[in-house]
Structure 1
């Protein structure tokens, strides 16, 4: 028997997510925080983990962590659902509301997991190219909503990988036009401080995603879904049992309880982002797009693939998109610590200044 014939064609066409870290000394590819936990917080986490019962399953509802997150965000505990990173929550949303052949709509380029989730579930991913300034294309999106009646619409806000927040009025219009679920992925909210959270009371088909991965807890894999409690209760039926492990539940709770010690790191990243933007703008043959997140999208006139190879040779890992038609010659660079950003700028300048 040839087991390969059992794999769906759309799965065969996908590529597994892999990262080659060999020889890398500076990692600016994954939009993680460049700062480790403050030592006092780290000690508190380790102390809390000592009392964790490893022989028992974790709390399936992650109640203690949801209470802390609810207080931190400012929403009721029953408006929250936690996942093993936002990736799992995106999969859960697509499972709950999708159907075979049903349309999942999103702009492009954007976070690739929206497309992957739809494909793996036999749904129909439908991407609409962004405008030249990376904003939502109107009236194309409204026409697609009226014609295709998408089951789910995903909007990354700020958008990954372009870094910008879409025009708010356009998103409001999408919420008013859509009869399906609209998901605002606010993974980078800590850096933009722009949110649709106050709109949850107005739109019962709105879901908001947040994450702890961008603010120093990427290794814990804790994603956050926020929505109307009745809607969240239905989505919770699809969640796998014990999906957030005991270590992550304990560590995330302790870290968030020490939020006043973590928050200054976000301010540092924002300040460094603005400084790095000004410095990158001075490099010849380089286009850097404005960002409200913790990363930049770059385009080099001398070739993005060649620049990526040059940076790798110098031990600097950034993100590239060789298979995306709109991003083939572009790179996404995470804001690192000041000294890392200096090394990055020097390496890019050497490449772009070559005769």
Structure 2
């Protein structure tokens, strides 16, 4: 297993539950990439219609079951998501998203301006309308990773970057690290930023930087939200629609600590983790316009995370189209937290040649067609 983020940890957990032995290799430390820099949203509200929305609903249900069974108790928490719109164009977009969620049997509640103001006291007066998605949830990525690895009794080999795959004829039989070759019956590449060069997908996987802000605690400020506020601009970015002039996809997320996480930019092609004054200022300006009570808080931290997406906007999950013994689970672009239980279970089934319980056909690497995969 290459990559100890939330997807790699979930696959390792489900493999060990089925009796497999797993060696987990991590270039840095567990959850040090996108899994540790995420907002923890287990959200159907944010997903593109089609397979991603369907899979998100199934995976969110698994979170609830894993929490009820004790594995993720105290880590996964149900909470609503509030989509909001500030222009007529945005109102139309969230209405479209709501209709598509209803098509997937998702519960929603459409809210007028007055109804939003009643449910979210302190909301900016220029917010026109919204949708409440009551069945969403939250789980911090690094806590999920830690719990899954403990339950799997898997100790990651930290600071062990994989340099290339080892082949015998057309089968992957191991990986090359700085410590030498590690052989295996099969290899699963569940890395984020490191996956593109490893499996030759440099032209298909795309880094996107997201800058975020953390405030101090709101206990004395009066600021409180029943769930995250997600802008129509975030939905537009997922759908690759341009709305207005904003360069950020605003989400205001109340943390269990009483702090707020404000994000984020979506900077395609950037893989550095630097923040800049202009982007942070834009995030703050838009957040204050939507939720003015944030003005009572202080910014205590800014940071950036890197999410790896794909050219067609869908993750790459499944067996390699030409090399046996190789499986891929990458290109999540911010959806890894939500999809982790389902993809962990599904990839474990693939590796063990067990009957498929989920339809991942839309994510299959075979869709890459004739794209050359130069390994090593």
**Shorter-chain TM-score tier:** under 0.3
Structure number with the higher helix fraction is 1
Structure number with the higher strand fraction is 2
